């Protein structure tokens, strides 16, 4: 009987330890909810200031060399088929922040953008979720709101962003942290015949 009494506290201790680890894993560090956001189309405000010039993520295939046409068509087809593909502009580096996109993947009407964001400055940085936005090849802007994240000098955090994107549209990630100029990364192009 004494053996059963000793096993129960160890079993209970194991459950308690598991709950503590789950709590730690979901509250901080690498699963930062502020950098795991779902974006939505932003309604156009006629009173908003004019946005700076922006080149839509589109390309006319006949104007490109045949090898490039084949590469872009293959990338487009893999992406449309739900495969993870690399971003056309995988890294954007500004004065204080480096944004890297490792993969983009379509899942139904949503696109999952995975990568990381790093503080390359010598001071702590507060990154609001609103610093990230997307623009598609039709000119629609997608934004999200949420908590701020603070990155210490040299610190990097995973980036997992989801954006609704109609089929056959190109997508650009725009990172804006004033007073730095915006950083634009073309993720996928709309290929026009």
pTM listed for this prediction? 0.71
Residues 6+ apart with CB under 8 A from 168: 80, 190
pLDDT score, position 34? 43
Q: Hey, where are the domains in the chain? A: 1-31, 35-192
pLDDT score, position 73? 86
pLDDT score, position 179? 93
The structure tokens listed for 92 are 């954007």
Which has the closest alpha carbon to 151: 35, 24, 39?
Answer: 35
Strands 156-164 and 36-38: parallel
pLDDT values of the chain reduced to their tens digit, one per residue, 193 residues: 455 555 545 554 555 445 454 444 433 333 444 444 566 665 655 554 445 555 666 777 778 788 888 888 888 889 989 999 999 899 999 999 999 999 999 999 999 999 999 999 999 999 998 899 999 988 889 988 778 889 999 999 999 999 999 988 889 999 999 999 999 999 998 877 7
pLDDT score, position 69? 83
Give CA separation, 130 vs 113, 133, 190, in Å.
Answer: 16, 7, 25
Architecture label for domain 35-192: Sandwich (2.60)
């Amino acid at each position: 009987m004494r053996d059963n009494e000793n096993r129960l506290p160890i079993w209970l201790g194991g459950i308690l330890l598991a709950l503590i680890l789950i709590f730690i894993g979901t509250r901080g560090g690498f699963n930062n909810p502020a950098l795991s956001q779902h974006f939505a189309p932003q309604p156009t405000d006629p009173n908003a200031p004019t946005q700076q010039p922006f080149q839509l993520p589109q390309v006319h295939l006949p104007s490109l060399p045949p090898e490039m046409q084949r590469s872009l068509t293959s990338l487009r087809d893999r992406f449309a088929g739900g495969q993870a593909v690399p971003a056309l502009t995988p890294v954007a580096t500004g004065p204080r922040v480096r944004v890297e996109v490792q993969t983009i993947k379509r899942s139904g009407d949503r696109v999952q953008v995975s990568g990381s964001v790093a503080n390359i400055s010598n001071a702590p940085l507060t990154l609001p979720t609103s610093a990230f936005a997307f623009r598609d090849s039709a000119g629609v802007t997608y934004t999200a709101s949420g908590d701020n994240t603070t990155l210490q000098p040299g610190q990097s955090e995973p980036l997992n962003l989801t954006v609704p994107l109609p089929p056959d549209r190109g997508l650009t990630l725009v990172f804006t942290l004033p007073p730095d100029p915006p950083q634009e990364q073309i993720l996928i192009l709309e290929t026009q015949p």
